[in-house]
């Protein structure tokens, strides 16, 4: 992760040193050498992903590109708050480290998440409502949602989803039923740490997952980023809201290109770019209009 940035960019190297001091964790080793299982633990993966995103964001803004509006998917809301100039980069890393630790420690056992492909949102919602301990956790794109619940609930709803025409069900490799009421204790633990981290008003409009609406006060941002731990990520609706705000080009910043694909499914005609390393950043910045 971020190998090219850490090899070639002095600013990324400095940010990493500061992050390791602040978080008291071997972020460089985890990102570059793993082991993969340790990196994928949510308390480690969250700061690693956000660091990667922030290092790229620093490069993009230095080039002179500024977002007209912002949205982040789940964890990405914290990098979004940095882009909105409401949260300092090191404070964002502290926040997601605390978030990851809360989700790791306080997530109940015997729970999980399943991606449901090929069904309308309304059908999945109806089946979840008729099944105990299962809820919709992510509205990722039309025909692509994720559900969370107890293992028993997920096993019970599987045949119902298949009978309704689901093309595929994929059990996700996660440690809990994220974005569901089962994460209430984790949300409380995270909220206690989050309130101690400085957060200002947002200087750019950010669409939040919890309600797919723009919010720009610190109090609202805190409430909504805690609330998304126990409620669904409304990514489809968030992207549609960005379109309503007049956004005509979307740039994903961070490792991999998952959101790029989701945005194209939500808005097939949209102009979408992905920046995941220095090479892709240079290619994208040469093609997009600098406002």
Residues involved in catalysis: 74, 179
CA–CA distance, 7 with 252 (Å, rounded to integer): 22
Distance (Å, whole) CA 204 – CA 30: 32
Cβ neighbourhood burial of 196 (10 Å; 0-12, 13-18, 19+): exposed
d(CA 129, CA 134): 8
Q: Which residues contact 7 (CB under 8 A, 6 or more apart)?
A: none
Question: For residues 220 and 7, what is the distance between their CA atoms, to the nearest angstrom?
Answer: 38
Contact 213, 174 (CB under 8 A): no
Cα separation, 49 vs 73, whole angstroms: 12
CA-CA distance, 89 to 58, in Å (whole number)? Answer: 10
């Amino acid at each position: 992760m971020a190998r090219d940035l850490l090899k070639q960019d002095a600013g990324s190297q400095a940010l990493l040193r500061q992050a390791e001091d602040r978080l008291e964790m071997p972020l460089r080793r985890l990102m570059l050498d793993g082991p993969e299982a340790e990196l994928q633990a949510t308390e480690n993966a969250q700061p690693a992903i956000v660091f990667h995103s922030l290092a790229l964001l620093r490069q993009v803004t230095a080039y002179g590109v500024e977002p007209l509006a912002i949205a982040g998917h789940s964890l990405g809301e914290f990098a979004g708050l940095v882009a909105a100039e409401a949260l300092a980069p090191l404070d964002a890393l502290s926040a997601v480290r605390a978030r990851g630790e809360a989700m790791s420690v306080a997530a109940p056992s015997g729970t999980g998440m399943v991606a449901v492909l090929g069904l309308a949102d309304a059908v999945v919602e109806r089946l979840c409502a008729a099944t105990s301990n299962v809820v919709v956790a992510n509205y990722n794109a039309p025909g692509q949602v994720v559900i969370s619940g107890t293992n028993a609930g997920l096993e019970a709803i599987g045949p119902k989803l298949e009978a309704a025409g689901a093309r595929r069900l994929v059990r996700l490799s996660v440690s809990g039923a994220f974005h569901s009421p089962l994460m209430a204790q984790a949300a409380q633990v995270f909220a206690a740490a989050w309130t101690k981290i400085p957060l200002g008003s947002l200087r750019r409009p950010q669409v939040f997952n919890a309600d797919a609406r723009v919010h720009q006060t610190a109090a609202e941002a805190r409430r909504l980023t805690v609330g998304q731990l126990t409620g669904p990520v409304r990514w489809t609706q968030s992207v549609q809201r960005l379109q309503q705000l007049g956004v005509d080009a979307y740039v994903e910043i961070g490792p991999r290109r998952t959101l790029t694909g989701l945005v194209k499914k939500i808005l097939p005609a949209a102009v979408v770019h992905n920046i995941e390393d220095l090479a892709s950043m240079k290619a994208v910045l040469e093609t997009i209009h600098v406002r």
